[in-house]
A and B are shown apart, each in its own frame.
Chain A
């Protein structure tokens, strides 16, 4: 008996210790890890296995155990089953693609695959999918194939799945395995779970290479009808859904059993998959025999509809939305019929359901429902924004009072109440919703929008509720996740506003107004001293500048811009606002008609002084774009100041002209062609100028120039930059007080006027609503059929109104009063349009005639091709490669692209003997052997180094046991390995690279032999 160390702990002890060390677990775990490190090197196999088990347990909590991979291998080689099992578990949990000892494991795996005990055989079979590599697949394939006909069904079914995973990395597996798997499937006496496993595997392979499985259809059909196993049926239906597009005749055969299942099955999952299968298999849509299909279509859609409608089971709701999502592309009309229930889901308390509903809604949007959909979304956003706001206020000012919130949010609408009970929506969800709103509205060049003013108001509102970018967070998450952070969102909103301003000339004025409102708002809402960093600023100020001629009060706007500029931190919006300020200035100052009076002169001089004062600090801005503009404009303005002060003001008697610099020079900078929107792909259509050689260096002396630039020392510029950075104070910004009405807006309870459609009040801020009302009043002033709210006539008729109100109560719903049908045909043509105004609910909205400019494009087509960008242009090959690349990036993704390229037909007859190939193989084998030897030496050296650090004593002990175990294995394994090599050479004609890799695996037999030596030397 060897001495058992005192500190030895079982897994129980470890866990118990963990539980009793609440608080300082970290320290405890570090201690345990240290113990495990020592124990795992022990020669006592029990101790080793226990230590490994503990490591596996700790690995689950994130403690790396990759350093123990060699010990994992040792435990895997144990003769005792319960230790072996721990070893294999360790391999499953801790081996990574770069684990080097995997090469040494090959022989062990091969040996265990041929063991007599079924439980032992199962271990490598279950482990292989986790550690498989192409070369490993090649070398274990001959051992694993015979297991397909093992007497124990458990082994058979596991083998089938493992072969599938082998095929994913090494497609040739299928060539050898497929006939056998097929044979198993056809065998009617086969164990039912084995058949089920085969079907599962075929289902996985099915969508990758459906053609190969068409021939199996009769047998699969038989299984579907006869098996009575719901799990199996689900998989089969899924499989058939991928087969029917290839073989339309299957549809006729499938429909009866599927309909029967739908009508009889008590299992909801099977029912759902039937419907899903019918939808996905394209059974609904294709051509002839319409009567029967319509019947089944309505059956399916109605079932799905009732799934959404059923209360109490949100899972059904979710999966029904999933199914709708799958058909929305192919059968949009079927989904559009269910608009009401789907829209209901957008307001669900459950975020998973919401997201799925959102996906759907995007596909079914039209000009009829756009406003109602967007207003629902807007209400959600606004509610969550106000909740956020209130919570924030509470947290900062006083203790977070829940009751306070509840009082404020007494609501009538039940769906709304559900929304408010939610925790505030996560920022990325809000950003997602805003993104979708924008894309829904701008879809196919704004075809769905009937009311652009409404859209502009929506955009204004969106800027207010857009989640504010979190600087620190973005820096962390962006490089990893690689997706657009919330910071981009407000910029996108701004871009939309700009697009509308550019494309829709009719509402340019409104855009400009909105831009003014947004920038005022941003200026006022951000407390003084804080930088402005909303992404919307760039495009918004661009709009102001570009269309300055349509501004109502350009001088006020200029003042606003000058207030904004010192507070903007990011370069891009800053550059845009510099340009905008200059444009507005050129417009105010360059007016021909204003007399150059003393008053005008001093006004202009003052204005210029202000601009120069604002711009001058930016002349040393670190960003070139900003710096250049600031320098240009200050210099230009200084010149103009000189010229203007030199020019006498005109008096009553003498007329003096405005300086030419003001009237001609500066405006001419900004006058030109009107900007039009250009399609994203237009650039590609620009013809290449002749004689253009992009490879030719512009300056042949470039290297020299760069070198000399580097050698020059940088003058004291840096100090200046530093200086300006800290002395850059905003020029005494006046704190314009927020309009009182805006403050009221936050407190107001969001009462909903109509249950059919949320009123504008519920999602737009009060000031925007007020403005809209005013505009509407203005528009309808001359309309004799519109009763003005404030007119005196209305006031005189109040008695009747009062009577009505007192008898009906205040909440009389005017819409519910029935309106007599008027027969329009009998009326004369002149009056026809009048009564239509009365029947409000059914009246189609008068569509505004608004011209939306299409994107301009170069080239012969002359049409806009908005889709024509990046990936679609690449060939199928390139996109496939791109997909593969993406898959590699994706977490947990399985790359199965290479299995699709293998052809099963005519493969098996490739056993011809090829001496040349054999020579090549041998050469490669020799090389691979060298490689293995080198690796082994490296590992051994590394191992020794560790052991030296731990003390030579321990090293000598630990090395004692493996040699004997290895030696025992030696004879059998060596012979076997050699046999396999021979077999392979005869049989295989594979790509030479694979063979080379296989050589590496085969030759791992040798290193083992050598392993016996070093410890002997130590002894």
Chain B
């Protein structure tokens, strides 16, 4: 299952945190900063999977590596779009490549909702961010991967607010979307 979905920007400021198991706020923050430290140190051309952050590794390696337990988070997948990092922490029962696609779907859904989504949209509408996520993942299990249905589900909850007019626009995530060309597995 999926244990957590996190979004933060290049400075490590969180934009969305969703933990599918209850966790102390302080531990959440520690995990966040540990993952950010890992993500920000990636060389260019590195793969989209992170080694386990110390907080998770401590519980992961204490048991013999020969018998990996399926309940323990053991996979940290991330993708970078423009100024943002999207992170999914999951157990080994999830398919790593499918998770990459899942993040892609999430971002595409946000793009559709906000029309050319950028970080600013996500800051000011973090409620919509949560809404879109809960259309895709409930309790750590993926329930929907169809873009149109996700967007329809969010829109059914009410109109999606636009970003305030007088806020300056930063670089859109839209650019980031097309960037991921070689990451998109065809025929998803």
- Closest Cβ–Cβ distance, residue B121 to chain A (whole Å): 12
Question: Cβ of B54 and Cβ of A428 under 8 Å apart?
Answer: yes
Query: Counting CB contacts under 8 A, is A352 at the interface?
Result: yes
Within 8 A of A (CB), among B17-59: 17-29, 31, 41-43, 45-51, 54-59
How many angstroms between the C-alpha atoms of A886 and B64 in the bound complex?
Answer: 12
Query: Counting CB contacts under 8 A, is A119 at the interface?
Result: yes
Query: Would A350 and B46 be within 8 Å (CB), given that A329-B66, A887-B72 are in contact?
Result: yes
Question: Cβ of A269 and Cβ of B142 under 8 Å apart?
Answer: no
Question: Cβ of A318 and Cβ of B47 under 8 Å apart?
Answer: yes
> Taking CB as reference atom, which chain A residue is nearest B142?
A200
Contacts of B48 in A (CB 8 A): 314-315, 318
Contacts of B57 in A (CB 8 A): 483
Contacts of B141 in A (CB 8 A): 161, 164, 197, 200-201, 204
Query: Counting CB contacts under 8 A, is A611 at the interface?
Result: no
- Closest Cβ–Cβ distance, residue B77 to chain A (whole Å): 9
Contacts of A265 in B (CB 8 A): 187
B135-165 Cβ-contact flags toward A at 8 Å (1 or 0): 0001111111110010001001110000010
Contacts of A154 in B (CB 8 A): 149, 153
> Taking CB as reference atom, which chain B residue is nearest A483?
B58
Question: Cβ of A318 and Cβ of B43 under 8 Å apart?
Answer: no
Question: Cβ of B124 and Cβ of A12 under 8 Å apart?
Answer: yes
Query: Counting CB contacts under 8 A, is A714 at the interface?
Result: no
Within 8 Å by CB of A60, from B17, B42, B93, B149, lies B17
Within 8 Å by CB of B158, from A82, A89, A118, A207, lies A82
How many residues of chain A get a CB closer than 8 Å to chain B's CBs? 97
How many angstroms between the C-alpha atoms of A272 and B127 in the bound complex?
Answer: 35
Question: Cβ of B71 and Cβ of A126 under 8 Å apart?
Answer: no
Contacts of B26 in A (CB 8 A): 62
How many angstroms between the C-alpha atoms of A355 and B138 in the bound complex?
Answer: 32
Question: Cβ of A314 and Cβ of B45 under 8 Å apart?
Answer: yes
Query: Counting CB contacts under 8 A, is A801 at the interface?
Result: no
Q: Which segment of A528-536, A727-735, A891-899, A943-951 sits at the interface?
A: A891-899
- Closest Cβ–Cβ distance, residue A105 to chain B (whole Å): 14
> Taking CB as reference atom, which chain B residue is nearest A206?
B93
Q: Which segment of A230-238, A694-702, A811-819, A905-913 sits at the interface?
A: A230-238
Question: Cβ of B31 and Cβ of A894 under 8 Å apart?
Answer: no
A250-266 Cβ-contact flags toward B at 8 Å (1 or 0): 00000000000000011
Question: Cβ of B139 and Cβ of A164 under 8 Å apart?
Answer: yes
Contacts of B19 in A (CB 8 A): 892
How many angstroms between the C-alpha atoms of A464 and B46 in the bound complex?
Answer: 30
> Taking CB as reference atom, which chain A residue is nearest B53?
A891
Question: Cβ of A126 and Cβ of B134 under 8 Å apart?
Answer: yes
Query: Would A421 and B43 be within 8 Å (CB), given that A204-B141, A231-B98 are in contact?
Result: yes
A336-367 Cβ-contact flags toward B at 8 Å (1 or 0): 00000000000001111101000100000000
Query: Counting CB contacts under 8 A, is A64 at the interface?
Result: yes
- Closest Cβ–Cβ distance, residue A894 to chain B (whole Å): 5
Query: Counting CB contacts under 8 A, is B177 at the interface?
Result: no
Query: Counting CB contacts under 8 A, is B112 at the interface?
Result: no
Q: Max chain B CB contacts within 10 Å: which of A128, A315, A423?
A: A315
Question: Cβ of A273 and Cβ of B95 under 8 Å apart?
Answer: yes
Within 8 A of B (CB), among A761-804: none
Question: Cβ of A157 and Cβ of B144 under 8 Å apart?
Answer: yes
How many angstroms between the C-alpha atoms of A204 and B182 in the bound complex?
Answer: 30
Contacts of B4 in A (CB 8 A): 892
Contacts of B98 in A (CB 8 A): 231, 234, 269, 273
Question: Cβ of B71 and Cβ of A268 under 8 Å apart?
Answer: no
Contacts of B22 in A (CB 8 A): 95-97, 130-131
> Taking CB as reference atom, which chain B residue is nearest A349?
B43
Query: Counting CB contacts under 8 A, is A148 at the interface?
Result: no
How many angstroms between the C-alpha atoms of A350 and B38 in the bound complex?
Answer: 11
Within 8 Å by CB of B72, from A61, A230, A893, lies A893
Contacts of B172 in A (CB 8 A): none
Query: Counting CB contacts under 8 A, is A193 at the interface?
Result: yes
> Taking CB as reference atom, which chain A residue is nearest B126?
A57
Give me the interface of B with A, judged by CB distance under 8 Å. 1, 3-4, 13-29, 31, 41-43, 45-51, 54-63, 65-66, 69-73, 89, 93, 95-98, 100-101, 123-124, 126-127, 130-131, 134, 138-146, 149, 153, 156-158, 164, 167, 182-183, 185-188
Q: Could you list 14 examples of A-B contacts with CB < 8 Å?
A: A12-B124, A62-B25, A126-B134, A126-B138, A193-B143, A197-B144, A207-B93, A231-B101, A234-B95, A266-B186, A269-B97, A318-B47, A482-B62, A892-B89
The list of the 4 closest CB pairs from A to B, nearest first, reads: A129-B139, A890-B59, A269-B97, A314-B47
16 further interface pairs, Cβ-Cβ under 8 Å (given A268-B97, A353-B46): A15-B123, A63-B25, A157-B144, A161-B139, A193-B144, A266-B187, A312-B182, A315-B100, A350-B45, A350-B46, A422-B43, A483-B57, A483-B58, A887-B69, A894-B71, A895-B71
